Amino acid sequence: MLKNVGLRIDVDTWRGTRAGVPCLLDILAAQKIKSTFFFSVGPDNMGRHFWRLTKPQFLMKMLRSRVVSLYSWKILLAGTAWPGRKIGQGLAAQIRAAAADHEVGMHAWDHFAWQTWAGTWDNAELTKQIRLAKDALTNIIEQPVTCSAAAGWRADNRVLQAKQPFGFFYNSDCRGTSLFRPLLPNGDWGTVQIPVTQPTFDEIIGHTVSLAGYNRFILDSIKADHGTPVYTIHAEVEGIALSGMFQELLWMARAEGIRFCPLGELIPQDATVLPVGHIVRGVIPGREGWVGCQRLLK
């Protein structure tokens, strides 16, 4: 029997959209695989993360993951020496190409800003940022935006409450083990959450696994996942510098009975059978700072 695994592709930057997305579309088409792309569509200010080099955990991650060779200086300095280019405005064709064959959802307006300040923004600013991103993406793909994924997994119950009026079919805002229905602070049911269950490349490379052993590690981890496996790649990494390695992973997965699919396909017809939980702030190995983590209610 095939094992269904949600394949999530985060697109955070101008270069990831311009170069990584077309490459990934070709790779996926060649193997007849469908996935979910989450796009950041506002200004590319990702270079402003460089201030975090003062934090030892972030610096070590940059060094062990060979971030300069993988991302390029154009990505790493975006929005610092020059104003961040608006991704959706300049690269609408690439986003529409993804939407033509794959599920497409909202990631962020300004990825850097969300990852840096979402935890401290007031409700009005959270709502503004969500609306900016959703409206821009809707205009680009000319169809409803039915799903979202918080940038950097920076999400808690306040974020879920802010997203609720936007009518998403599902959100993928946290790390965890299985699909669940969040219980909001006001006692209402929130939109179904599809947590990412597998580690990302930058979280484990260089200390948990070597580059040569990465694909084998991920596939073994997916096989050992007894929940609902969801695997995230980034257009800036697996779509550019490591596209060959990602293509090999897909061939290996097919041979071993693993079927990658869009996240929306993982939701059961009757979502009320899903367990109930919250999203709480937590930490995971290999990632600097807090992320939203699934906590199921007993």
161 located within any domain? yes
Question: Structural domain tally of the chain?
Answer: 1
**What single-letter amino acid sits at 197?**
T
Query: Cα dihedral angle (142, 143, 146, 148), rounded to 10 degrees?
Result: -10
Which CA distances in Å does 164 have to 110, 183, 201?
20, 12, 31
> pLDDT tens-digit profile of 87-131?
999 999 999 999 999 999 999 999 999 999 999 999 999 999 999
Whole-number pLDDT of residue 109: 98
Give the structural domain span for 211.
3-56+86-296
Q: What is the pTM of this model?
A: 0.90
Asked, for residue 135, whether it belongs to a domain, the answer is yes
Q: Residue 225 phi/psi, 5° resolution? A: -80, 110
User: 237, 70 in Cβ contact below 8 A?
Assistant: yes
Structure tokens given for 244: 């060959």
Say which residues have a Cβ less than 8 Å from residue 277's Cβ, sequence separation at least 6.
176, 180, 181, 182, 183, 193, 294, 295, 296, 297
Asked if residue 97 belongs to a domain, the reply is yes
Residue whose pair of structure tokens reads 């200390």 in the numeric block = 207
Assigned token pair, 207: 């200390």
Q: Beta strand pairing status for 291-296 and 276-282?
A: antiparallel
pLDDT at residue 55, rounded to an integer: 45
Please choose, from the candidates 218, 211, 197, 202, the residue with its C-alpha nearest in 3D space to the C-alpha of residue 286: 202
- Provide block-wise average pLDDT over 10 residues at a time, the chain (298 residues): 95 96 98 98 78 48 52 52 84 98 98 95 97 98 98 96 97 97 92 98 91 97 96 97 97 98 97 95 93 92
Question: Is residue 288 included in any domain, yes or no?
Answer: yes
**What percentage of the chain exceeds 70 in pLDDT?**
87
Neighbours of 16 (CB within 10 A): 29
Confirm whether 13 is domain-assigned: yes
Q: What is the CATH number of the domain that holds 14?
A: 3.20.20.370
Phi, psi (5° rounding) for residue 296? -80, 145
d(CA 264, CA 171) in angstroms, rounded, equals 10
Task: Supply the pLDDT for residue 43.
Answer: 96
Q: Is position 260 within any domain?
A: yes
The string of pLDDT tens digits covering residues 136-153 is 999 999 999 999 999 999
pLDDT in the model for residue 190? 95
Give the whole-angstrom CA distance, residue 237 versus residue 212: 16
| pLDDT of amino acid 84 | 82
Q: Is residue 66 part of a domain?
A: no
Q: Is residue 61 one of the residues assigned to a domain? A: no
CA dihedral 248, 174, 135, 268 (to 10 degrees): 80
